Structure formats: C-alpha cells, structure tokens
C-alpha cells in the first residue's frame, strides 16, 4: 500500500478514533467521576486527556512508513 493511501485511511481512522474516544471518556467521566471530589476529577481528566495518544501515535507511525521498494 502506498504512503498516500495509508495517510488517507489513517486520517479518517484517527478522526473516528478521537471522536469515539472523546464520547466514551465523556460518558465515563459523567457517570463515574463527577461529584467524587476535585482530586478524583482532576486525576481522571489528566489520564483521559492523554490516554488517546498511544493509539494515535501508532496510527501516525503506520501512516508515515516509507513505501516498499
């Protein structure tokens, strides 16, 4: 698969991933975290704010691989 195709697919997958992740994180935060105290909320929002990065980094790494010779 050419890099151009991988970037197109990866862009759409990244947008879908971030949208779904944000909705799930919002639902979990609203149900389990809100009202449990400021420190619990702060810890959750810090963890939830960076937990999407590993998956996105893997997709970006896959998208930027050079084309096979």
pTM of the model: 0.84
pLDDT at site 4: 93
Give helix 3-28 / helix 53-63 axis angle, nearest 10°.
170
Helix (H) or strand (E) holding 45: helix 38-50
pLDDT bin (cut points 50, 70, 90) of residue 27 is: very high
69 confidence band (pLDDT: 50, 70, 90): confident
Q: For residue 54, what is the enclosing H or E element?
A: helix 53-63
- pLDDT value, residue 68: 82
pLDDT at 38: 94
């Amino acid at each position: 698969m050419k890099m151009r195709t991988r970037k197109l697919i990866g862009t759409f997958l990244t947008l879908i991933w971030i949208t779904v992740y944000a909705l799930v994180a919002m639902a979990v935060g609203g149900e389990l975290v809100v009202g449990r105290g400021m420190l619990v909320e702060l810890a959750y929002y810090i963890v939830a704010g960076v937990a999407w990065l590993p998956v996105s980094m893997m997709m970006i790494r896959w998208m930027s691989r050079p084309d096979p010779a």
